[in-house]
């Protein structure tokens, strides 16, 4: 979505409902190194607010961008610590 960052890993949680997109995003972020960017692909529209809220209240992560491509919601999260 942006040339300002490069995706390190992609997490596909399409078909998963709340709270699994956030739970799996946290698990994937925990396995990354500082500065890595995780792309999350979800079909749950609630993931937009859920991942944004999680990133806002979680130390060590930064929500870079969110968007929609058809019925897939894309989230880009950087590990900062």
Taking residue 48's Cβ as centre, other Cβ atoms within 10 Å add up to 17
In the chain, where are the structural domains located?
A: 9-79
Is pLDDT above 70 for 36?
yes
pLDDT above 70 as % of the chain: 96
For the whole model, what pTM was predicted?
Answer: 0.93
Query: Domain 9-79: what homologous superfamily?
Result: TusA-like domain (3.30.110.40)
Among left, alpha and beta (phi > 0; psi -120 to 50; other), residue 71 is alpha
CA–CA distance, 66 with 61 (Å, rounded to integer): 14
Which of 18, 32, 48, 64 does the annotation list as catalytic? 18
Is pLDDT above 60 for 2?
no
Summarised one tens digit per residue, pLDDT across range 55-73 is 999 999 999 999 999 999 9
- Residue in this structure with the two tokens 């992560």, named with its chain if needed: 61
Give the pLDDT band of residue 11 (cuts 50, 70, 90).
very high
**Catalytic: 18?**
yes
């Amino acid at each position: 979505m942006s040339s300002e960052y490069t995706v390190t890993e992609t997490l596909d949680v399409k078909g998963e409902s709340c709270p699994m997109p956030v739970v799996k995003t946290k698990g994937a972020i925990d396995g990354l190194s500082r500065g890595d960017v995780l792309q999350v692909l979800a079909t749950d529209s609630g993931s937009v607010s859920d991942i944004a809220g999680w990133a806002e209240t979680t130390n060590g992560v930064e929500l870079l961008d969110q968007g929609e491509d058809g019925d897939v919601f894309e989230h880009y999260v950087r590990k900062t610590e």
